[in-house]
Amino acid sequence: MNANEQMIRDQIVSRGVRDARVLDAMRSVPRELFVPPQHRASAYDDTPLPLVHGQTISQPFIVAAMTELLNLRGHERVLELGTGSGYQTAVLARLAREVFSAELEPALARSVAERLAQLHITNVQLRVGDGVQIFRDEAPFDAILSAAAPIEIPEALVEQLAEGGRCVIPVGTVEEQHLWLIERKGGAVERRKLDAVRFVPLRT
């Protein structure tokens, strides 16, 4: 069994992620491609890893769990906030029609396009800027995933959610954060607080 397959079994399936499409998507994305060279030996470890500028590449389990919550079936247009290494972006790209991914930090955004091209991923648009605002011209989205945590759910983000759409986002301070699942159903917006998590702050 290779390291990726072992990661999926021991860290992801064992903790309850069962969506076969999500597991297949993770099988098809080599995580070592997204990890800085000096951390490559740890690419499949059960932990977030450092990127540049104090940012981190998310723990594999959290990528799987958040992706599963979006319930992607293949036709969706997805907004991602916090491209980072592009690992989560690649997983989303395998599962949706189109991914619009925003990263505030220009130094991080630069290498992502190249990595995605190496994997022959062509359904991603990358922009440098604040993810709450920078893809407003492409709204509404069927799914929104944020890898950075605002103090409160930004209403500007909820506005960009299509009917039937789902948004998964960490919300809170550095000390106390929870994952939230926001759904727009029949014109109403439902907000559910889920597990405690730890993400970098969403900056503006």
The residues that touch ligand SAH, with contacts defined as CB under 6 A, are: 55-58, 81-82, 84-85, 87-88, 102-105, 108, 130-132, 147-148, 200, 202-204
- In whole angstroms, the minimum distance from the beta carbon of 186 to ligand SAH comes to 30
CA-CA distance, 58 to 124, in Å (whole number)? 19
CA-CA distance, 43 to 141, in Å (whole number)? 31
**Nearest CB to ligand SAH, comparing residues 140 and 201:** 201
- In whole angstroms, the minimum distance from the beta carbon of 28 to ligand SAH comes to 16
Beta carbons within 8 Å of 130's beta carbon, 6+ residues apart? 102, 104, 203, 204
Helices (H), 104-146: 106-118
Q: Smallest Cα–Cα separation from 60: which of 115, 3, 114, 102? A: 3
- In whole angstroms, the minimum distance from the beta carbon of 125 to ligand SAH comes to 14
Biggest CA-to-CA distance, the chain: 49
**Nearest CB to ligand SAH, comparing residues 89 and 142:** 89
**Nearest CB to ligand SAH, comparing residues 129 and 164:** 129
To the nearest 10 degrees (0 to 180), the angle between helices 106-118 and 87-95 is: 50
Active site residue 28: no
- In whole angstroms, the minimum distance from the beta carbon of 111 to ligand SAH comes to 11
Q: Smallest Cα–Cα separation from 149: which of 79, 197, 88, 115? A: 197
Q: Active site residue: 58, 85, 101, 146, which one?
A: 58
**Nearest CB to ligand SAH, comparing residues 14 and 204:** 204
Active site residues: 58
